[in-house]
Structure 1
Amino acid sequence: MLPFSKKNDVDFFNLLIQSAENTLKGAQLFRSAMMGDRPPATYYEQLRELEHKGDSITHQIYKGLNLVFMTPLDREDILEMAVKVDDVMDGMEATIARFDYMQIGFSNGVMKQFSEVLVESCDHILQAFKLLSKKKYLQIREHTIQINSLENEGDRLMREGIREIFSNPKDPYHDFKLKEIYERLEQTTDACEDVADILASVVLKYA
């Protein structure tokens, strides 16, 4: 059921916060998968459930945009934020899926560091959305700056991880699997930065 405000409009801010909260839970679960004692792929079903929940929230936002005439922000901004947050969740689910179908039964230091980057990035997205709902636009900048910095850390981790693969090559299949994981994780940190870029644009429009 769509949440409504006192004006009987769809509460898009609440939906975006719900989406960000769900994505943060996904990031925390992904971190557990990387840090845990059991194979990462055993977390796949739990993460897929969160991914489906995220899809449902995004669908509610789509539906809401088609229902109401007045929106608190430009429709395009609301839609882009919803889609990009969903991309972050999709990226984590797709990464765990690779552990499953490529039969990777371990994580390493690079993957663990990536998981920390994702948790921090998703937390900043959530805090920024909460500020957005209160129209505290200038305070959002601190979080977008941090997300951009974390995306740079993701770039660094991917470069170092791939450099290690080529510096100390092992079995080609093993190396291919690692490269796949690193690149998918870096794309997921890119999706976090995409959210930050939209937020920065919103700040310029409304601050």
Structure 2
Amino acid sequence: MITFRKNDDRYLLVLLDAAENTLKGAQLFRTAMMGEKEPQTYNDAIKELENTGDTLTHDIFRQLNSIHIAPLSREDILELAVLIDDIMDGIEATIARFDYLGIHYTNEVMRQFSEILVASCEHVYEAIKLLTNKKFLQIRQHTVQVNALENDGDRLMREGIADIFKNRKDPYHDFALKEIYERLEQTTDACEDVADVLESIVLRYA
């Protein structure tokens, strides 16, 4: 159970809720990529989590507007809230592409990306939990891992796109796969953006 020294700290708990919601989205996306059902089957459930993320982000904005002195920089918390929401948005945007681009299967590239996303979101969640408890120095062990995972995502996207061009099929199909791979890579970038903000907080408050 997380404890708070001040009521003004409570917006951090909402930020933690947002990080947990995004982790749930990543875990559900991984399930979708395992191929037991068509990816489109998970659209509604992931969209619901994306809507929950939007609600939590707006709640953070309201709470920050209602307090006089924030324990941490308002700008930092606002940026973290938006970037965590960006991760969830990226997951939802990816699963939506399977539907409107007509891709009804998953492959090894997608499955590996889903593993990277889950691991990244786990580290983001743990880092926000440490932030909530003001354990700044311990945050770096997670941000370093997020950065390494983002590099894995870059490599995976390049390899995936290279494979598309080596094994060309229908041009529309190839375009659709490329769209999905690039959106997945952008979502891992969003995880790294969260890590970068956390790194700057560590430098200022540790």
* TM-score, shorter chain, exceeding 0.5: yes
One-letter code of the match for 1:72? P
Identify unmatched segments of 5+ residues in structure 1: none
2:8, 2:71 within 8 Å by CA — same for their partners in 1?
A: no
For 1:113 and 1:169, the matched residues in 2 are separated by: 21
Q: Which residue of 1 aligns with 2:16?
A: 17
Normalised by the length of structure 1, the TM-score is: 0.96
Residue 78 of structure 1 aligns to a residue in which SS? helix
For 1:36 and 1:175, the matched residues in 2 are separated by: 19
Q: Which residue of 1 aligns with 2:31?
A: 32
Q: Which residue of 2 aligns with 1:43?
A: 42
CA apart distance, 1:58: 0.1
C-alpha spacing 1:140/1:6, structure 2 compared with 1 (3 Å) = closer
For 1:63 and 1:126, the matched residues in 2 are separated by: 22
1:15, 1:57 within 8 Å by CA — same for their partners in 2?
A: yes
Q: In angstroms, what is the RMSD of aligned CA positions?
A: 1.2
For 1:73 and 1:6, the matched residues in 2 are separated by: 13
For 1:9 and 1:153, the matched residues in 2 are separated by: 38
> Identity across aligned pairs (percent)?
65
One-letter code of the match for 2:51? H
Residue 11 of structure 1 aligns to a residue in which SS? helix
| Aligned residue-pair number | 204
2:18, 2:56 within 8 Å by CA — same for their partners in 1?
A: yes
Q: 191-200 or 162-171, which moves further after superposition? A: 162-171
1:34, 1:107 within 8 Å by CA — same for their partners in 2?
A: yes
Flag as ranges the 4+ runs of structure 1 deviating above 4 A. none
1:33, 1:43 within 8 Å by CA — same for their partners in 2?
A: yes
1:10, 1:68 within 8 Å by CA — same for their partners in 2?
A: no
Q: Which residue of 1 aligns with 2:129?
A: 130
Q: Which residue of 2 aligns with 1:165?
A: 164
Is residue 74 from structure 1 mapped to residue 73 from structure 2 by the alignment?
yes
For 1:29 and 1:160, the matched residues in 2 are separated by: 24
Normalised by the length of structure 2, the TM-score is: 0.96
| Structure 1 residues 160-199: aligned runs within 5 Å | 160-199=159-198
One-letter code of the match for 1:68? I
* 1:7-50 CA distance string (max 9 Å, x none): 44361210111001000000000000000311101100000000
For 2:162 and 2:142, the matched residues in 1 are separated by: 30
One-letter code of the match for 1:80? E
For 2:199 and 2:97, the matched residues in 1 are separated by: 32
For 1:60 and 1:36, the matched residues in 2 are separated by: 35
CA apart distance, 1:69: 1.0
CA apart distance, 1:133: 1.2
Residue 8 of structure 2 aligns to a residue in which SS? coil
Is residue 52 from structure 1 mapped to residue 36 from structure 2 by the alignment?
no
Q: Which residue of 1 aligns with 2:139?
A: 140
CA apart distance, 1:6: 6.5
